[in-house]
Amino acid sequence: MPVGPARMPLLDHLSELRRRLTIIIVCVLVTTVVVYMATPTLIQVLIDPIRQFMPDGGKLYVTTALGGFTLRFKVAMFFAVIVCCPIIIFQTLGFFMPALKPSEQKWVGPTVAALVFLFFFGMIFCYLVILQATFGWMLDQTNDFAAVFANAEDYINMITLLELGFGCAFELPLVIFYLLIFHLVPYKTMREQWRFIYVGLLVASAVVTPDASPVTMFLMFAAVIVLYEASLFLARRVLVARDGKASLKWSRDEYQEHKFNED
């Protein structure tokens, strides 16, 4: 009889959780302090894609005495989270490692690499494509009747939220891929119910985007649809190659029964 993973007592679980959270928090705080000195340059990098749409050649304005410090700290922490992203993901997955079977643990390395890649890919896509389209449309709604005041906190908050939103949204293919290859959801069901899934992705795109711009919502929707279909395509190839074409209809119970018969 195969031996499952050893169970860890509750206090050991809590101790392990505290240790990993401490590592994440310390890494983020130390990186924030280091990055803080470079925040003036980083702020210019953030607004560079939308500079052409901003008044006064992209000059930002702070309206409170503590506004500059608060903004710099937010930007430093934003970049610290990005820099520490691999550590955060690795420590999070590492906490769940003891609960995984040996056959499942081999997926951890590729999963960390895929999570990091997709997160950065989403942020780069947002920086190169989304920011210009979003701010171009939003500021154009104002220019016809009022002058735009470039409040630094408002602009930077919107940019960072968009970047994080797209970074997280681009993790969708990995979620779909694992749902399918572990037969938590049958491939056939997800393929046949595409209309409902598309509507759900549209609603999710509207919720995740931090602005009320239809441009941002539909651009995110288009991006996640492409990623969704790509994940289905890849999962189908893996399922057929591993378990045969009949596995596309399997439920979780049918998959476990197949694995038991193989063993």
Task: For residue range 200-250, list pLDDT tens digits in order.
Answer: 999 888 888 877 678 888 999 999 999 999 999 999 998 888 888 888 888
Does residue 149 surpass a pLDDT of 60?
A: yes
In this prediction, residue 214 carries a pLDDT of 85
Longest pairwise C-alpha distance within the chain: 75
In this prediction, residue 107 carries a pLDDT of 77
Q: Which residues are paired to 61 by β-bridges?
A: 151
pTM of the predicted structure, to 2 decimals: 0.83
In this prediction, residue 212 carries a pLDDT of 67
* Separation CA 258–CA 229 (nearest Å): 27
Q: Where are the alpha helices (DSSP H) in the chain?
A: 10-36, 39-47, 67-83, 85-96, 102-105, 108-125, 131-143, 152-169, 172-181, 187-192, 194-208, 214-243, 252-262
**Mean pLDDT score of the chain:** 86
- Other C-beta atoms closer than 10 Å to the C-beta of 86 total 15
Residue 63's Cβ-count burial label (10 Å; 0-12, 13-18, 19+) is: exposed
Dihedral, CA atoms, 153, 158, 159, 162, nearest 10 degrees?
160
Q: Residue 181: pLDDT band by 50, 70, 90 thresholds?
A: confident
In this prediction, residue 4 carries a pLDDT of 47
In this prediction, residue 46 carries a pLDDT of 94
Strand, helix or coil at 151? strand
Average pLDDT over residues 70-98: 89
* Separation CA 133–CA 216 (nearest Å): 8
In this prediction, residue 159 carries a pLDDT of 93
Does residue 102 surpass a pLDDT of 50?
A: yes
**Structure confidence by residue, pLDDT tens digits, 156-170:** 999 999 999 899 889
* Window from 6-10, 48-52, 62-66, 200-204 with minimum mean pLDDT: 6-10
